[in-house]
Amino acid sequence: MSKPEATPLPETGDLIKFCSANVTGSRTFVVFKRGTCVMVNEPCDDPLAAARKTLSACADPNTPFIPEPTAEGELIVSFKEPVFQRFTRSELAELAPTMERLAPALLSPAESAAVGGNFTPPDVAKAGLLARRRMLEDAADAKAVKVIRAKTRQTAAR
C-alpha cells in the first residue's frame, strides 16, 4: 500500500490570530503544525499534554466532522472533541483545485466502499475531508506551533 499524498501545509498565522482573539479566562488553544487547533479547559497544568491526549482521541480515519460556514465566508471544520480546523475564504479558493484532485483519496476506506467509485462530495465536504486528513497528520506527529494560554493564566500576544 502506498503512503497517502501529503496535504499542503496551512498558513497557521491567521489561525493563531483567530484563537488569540477568542481566548477566554477558561479556554486555552493549542495550534499544531498542520493547522489543527485543540481547545483545552482551564485550569490545566500542562495544556500541551492535554491537547495531545485530546488529539489522539480523534485519530481515527473515520472521525466524523462538521463543516460550518461562517458569516465572514470562512469555514470551521469541527470534530467530536474540542478540536477544529479553520479555512479562510482565500485559503478555500486557493485550495479548491487541490481539494478537487485529492477528494477521492481523502475518503477513508470504509467511506470509499460505502459510496462507490463515482462519488464527488460537495465543496464543504471536500474541505472537511482535507481538514480531517490534516488533523490525522497532526495526531500522528503532534508538533505544536503555539500554545495560547487562557487570559487568567497568561495573556496571549495579539
Nearest to 95 by CA among 70, 75, 115, 117: 75
Nearest to 84 by CA among 44, 125, 134: 134
- In this prediction, residue 154 carries a pLDDT of 47
**107 vs 133: CA distance, rounded Å:** 9
pLDDT tens across 56-110, in order?
998 898 999 999 999 989 999 999 889 999 999 999 999 999 888 888 888 888 8
pLDDT tens across 32-57, in order?
999 999 999 999 999 999 999 999 99
Q: What is the layout of strands, in order, in the sheet containing 37-41? A: 66-69, 75-78, 83-87, 37-41, 27-32, 144-148
For residue 83, give Cα distances in angstroms to 70, 77, 78, 126, 136: 17, 9, 6, 18, 11
pLDDT tens across 128-148, in order?
999 999 999 999 999 999 999
- In this prediction, residue 52 carries a pLDDT of 96
pLDDT over 50 at 127, yes or no = yes
Cell numbers representing residue 146 in the block: 503555539
Better-predicted residue by pLDDT, 122 or 41 = 41
**67 vs 92: CA distance, rounded Å:** 12
The answer to whether residues 24 and 150 touch, using CB atoms and an 8 Å cutoff, is yes
pLDDT over 60 at 156, yes or no = no
